[in-house]
Amino acid sequence: MSTMNNTRIRRFTAVQRLFHLLLMVSFLVQGATGLARMYIETPWGQYIAWVFGGYEYCLTIHIYVGIFMLAGFLVHFFYLLARIDWKGFPKSLLGRDSVLLQPRDAKEAYEHALWLIGIRDWPRFDRWGYWEKFDYWAVFWGMVIMGVTGLLLAFSLSSSRIIPGWGLNVAFWVHRIEAILAMGHVFIIHFFIGHLRRHNFPMDKAMFEGSVDIDSVRHERPAWYERLEKNDDLKGAITTEAGRGRRAVFYAVGYLAMFTGLFLLIGGILNSAAITW
């Protein structure tokens, strides 16, 4: 039973998990307060707005949390700069542990698509799959789009000195469509891949616990596993499973986030015909 203790491989550092946790919480708050205002004509929207103290408070919270997210994004940006291996730059950006999209990812995406329709074996993924890299850069792009348009709209008196006032009409729709895209992607695709597909069910705890099950790495990411083995990094990367109490917290947080997201998604779709767009 000694293998019960050393069953996991480190995947995310504590700082990375903290970034994800802060992003997760603030994303849900932004989604809820934003949808509350968008759906304020419906009882569903009024209910969400009530949670946050009403229509006006929703906007106040939305703006402050938005600024908090942008600050976090800035900190993350400096974190990225600090984490880059500048000695091997720029070649180091194309390493196997890098989340930059590379030609290899197109090949793997193609092979994965063939696996999806059942005519090929599972591709030899390394540490990050192309869908995970896409998720990461989607947030990056979304942060810029939502942050810029959000700031323009939140400080409209000042921003209309820089851009023409009708630009706010445009910024509003960019903000709205990007928000729908982001929430749709997270609440359907990200949650399903992370939690609900059979091999991860009931939950992929990697982003909370920081580690993944060694067996699933061997099968889902064989190239990563072999690379660790070859470089003698495997021993250093192996860690124990979190205790029962901590795992319970992970499940509670993860499922709370998922149900919040599904509540926003389903309510948003069901009520979409009842609002003035």
Partner 1 sequence: MKGQYGHRALLALAAAILIAAPGTVCSQEEVSSAIRRYRDLEVSTGYYEEYEVRPQRQRPFVVLPGVGRGAFPYSPSGARVRIRSRLADSHRGLQFYDVQRCETCHPEQSDDLHTVRANLTCRQCHGGEPIASIDHYYSPMNPIRRHAYVCAKCHEGAGASFASYVIHPPNPADIKALEEFPALFYVFWAMAAIAVGTFLVFLPHTFLWGIRELLARKKETSGEHHE
For residue 47, the tally of other CB atoms under 10 A from its CB is 12
Residue type, 83: R
Count Cα atoms within 13 angstroms, Cβ side, for 259.
Answer: 5
Query: What are the residue ranges of helices labelled H in the chain?
Result: 14-38, 43-51, 55-83, 103-116, 130-154, 156-162, 167-184, 191, 206-209, 214-220, 222-230, 234-237, 244-270
Residue 150 Cβ, how far from partner 1 at the closest point, in Å? Answer: 15
Region binding partner 1 by CB under 8 A among candidate stretches 68-76, 108-116, 236-244, 254-262: 108-116
Please report, to the nearest 10 degrees, the dihedral formed by the alpha carbons of residues 107, 110, 114, 115 taken in order: 70
**Nearest CB to partner 1, comparing residues 78 and 277:** 277
Residue 212 belongs to what H/E stretch? strand 211-213
- Does 215 bind partner 1 (CB under 8 A)? Our answer is yes
Out of 84, 161, 259, 270, the residue judged to bind partner 1 by CB under 8 A: 161
Determine which residue in the list 70, 148, 168, 242 makes contact with partner 1, applying CB under 8 A.
168
Among 216, 239, 260, 271, interactor with partner 1 by CB under 8 A: 216
Site string for partner 1, 171-200 (x = CB under 8 A): --xx--xx-xx--xx--xx--xx--xxxx-
Three-class secondary structure of residue 8 per DSSP: strand
What residue ranges bind partner 1 (CB under 8 A)? 37, 40-41, 55, 113, 115-118, 131, 138, 156-157, 160-161, 163-170, 173-174, 177-178, 180-181, 184-185, 188-189, 192-193, 196-199, 215-216, 218-219, 276-277
